[in-house]
A and B are shown apart, each in its own frame.
Chain A
Amino acid sequence: MEQRLGNTWRMTVNEKKFIESALESELRVDGRRPFDYRTLTIKFAREDGSSEVQLGQTHVMSFVTSQLVQPYRDRPNEGTLSVFTEFSPMADPSFEAGRPSESAVELGRIIDRGLRESRAVDTESLCVVSGKWVWSIRLDLHILDNGGNLVDAANIAALAALLTFRRPECTLGGDDGQEVILHPPEVREPLPLIIHHLPIAVTFAFIGEELMVIDPTHHEEAVMGGRMSVTLNANGDVYAIQKAGGHGVMQGVVMQCLRIASVKTGDITSKIKTVVESYKTERALRMVKRHAPSNAADVNEPDQKAKQILEGQKLKSEECSVSQSDDMDVEQDRINKRSKKNRSFTGRPSSWDPYSEGVNTDELEATLASRGSVAVPMNLDNLGDNIRDETKSDEPLSDVNPVSSSTDTAGKEMSISREKTLQDAVKPKNKREKKKSSKIAAV
Chain B
Amino acid sequence: MDPKPSMTFIDKPVDHDTITVIKAGILRFSEPNKYWIESSHKRFIPTVGDTVLGIVVDKRADSFFVDIKGPMVAFLPVLAFEGGTRRNIPKYEVGALIYARIVNANTGMNPELSCMDASGKAAEFGLLKDGYMFESSTGLSRMLLSSPTCPVLEGLGKKLAFEIAVGLNGRVWVNAEHPSSIILVANAIMNSESLTPVQQKIMVERLLDRVN
Which residues of chain A have a CB within 8 Å of any CB of chain B?
2-3, 5-6, 9-18, 21-22, 25, 27-31
- Are the C-beta atoms of A25 and B130 separated by less than 8 Å? no
Any A CB within 8 A of the CB of B179: yes
Collect the chain A residues with CB atoms within 8 Å of residue B71's CB. 3, 6
A-contact 0/1 string along B150-186, CB 8 Å cutoff: 0000000000000000000000010000111011001
The smallest C-beta distance from A57 to any residue of chain B, in angstroms, reads: 12
Collect the chain B residues with CB atoms within 8 Å of residue A18's CB. 130-132, 179, 182
The size class of the interface chain B forms with chain A is 20 to 34
Minimum CB distance partner of B69 in chain A:
A6
Question: A2-B73, A12-B97, A22-B183 are known contacts; what are 17 more A-B pairs with Cβ within 8 Å?
Answer: A2-B72, A5-B73, A6-B72, A10-B55, A10-B95, A11-B95, A14-B97, A14-B133, A15-B132, A16-B95, A18-B179, A22-B182, A25-B179, A27-B179, A27-B180, A27-B183, A29-B183
Complex Cα–Cα for A28 and B184 (A)? 11
Complex Cα–Cα for A6 and B57 (A)? 11
Complex Cα–Cα for A81 and B65 (A)? 50
Determine which of A10, A13, A14 lies in contact with B67 in the assembled complex, contact meaning CB atoms within 8 Å.
A10
Minimum CB distance partner of B58 in chain A:
A2
A-B contact count (CB 8 A): 65
Any A CB within 8 A of the CB of B96: yes
Given contacts A14-B173, A18-B132, contact A30 B73 (CB under 8 A): no
- Are the C-beta atoms of A14 and B131 separated by less than 8 Å? yes
Which residues of chain B have a CB within 8 Å of any CB of chain A?
55, 57-58, 65, 67, 70-73, 93, 95-97, 128-133, 135, 173, 178-180, 182-183, 186-187
Complex Cα–Cα for A355 and B59 (A)? 68
21 A–B contacts, CB within 8 A, in A order: A2-B58, A2-B72, A6-B67, A6-B73, A9-B135, A12-B95, A13-B96, A13-B97, A14-B130, A14-B173, A15-B132, A15-B133, A16-B95, A18-B130, A18-B131, A18-B132, A27-B180, A27-B183, A29-B183, A30-B187, A31-B187
Most A CB contacts (10 A, CB to CB) among B73, B179, B180 go to: B179
Collect the chain A residues with CB atoms within 8 Å of residue B187's CB. 30-31
Determine which of B96, B182, B183 lies in contact with A12 in the assembled complex, contact meaning CB atoms within 8 Å.
B96
Complex Cα–Cα for A11 and B56 (A)? 10
Complex Cα–Cα for A312 and B101 (A)? 63
Determine which of A6, A14, A25, A30 lies in contact with B180 in the assembled complex, contact meaning CB atoms within 8 Å.
A25
The smallest C-beta distance from B30 to any residue of chain A, in angstroms, reads: 33
Given contacts A6-B70, A6-B73, A13-B93, contact A31 B183 (CB under 8 A): yes
- Are the C-beta atoms of B95 and A2 separated by less than 8 Å? no
The smallest C-beta distance from A21 to any residue of chain B, in angstroms, reads: 6
Most B CB contacts (10 A, CB to CB) among A3, A16, A18, A30 go to: A18
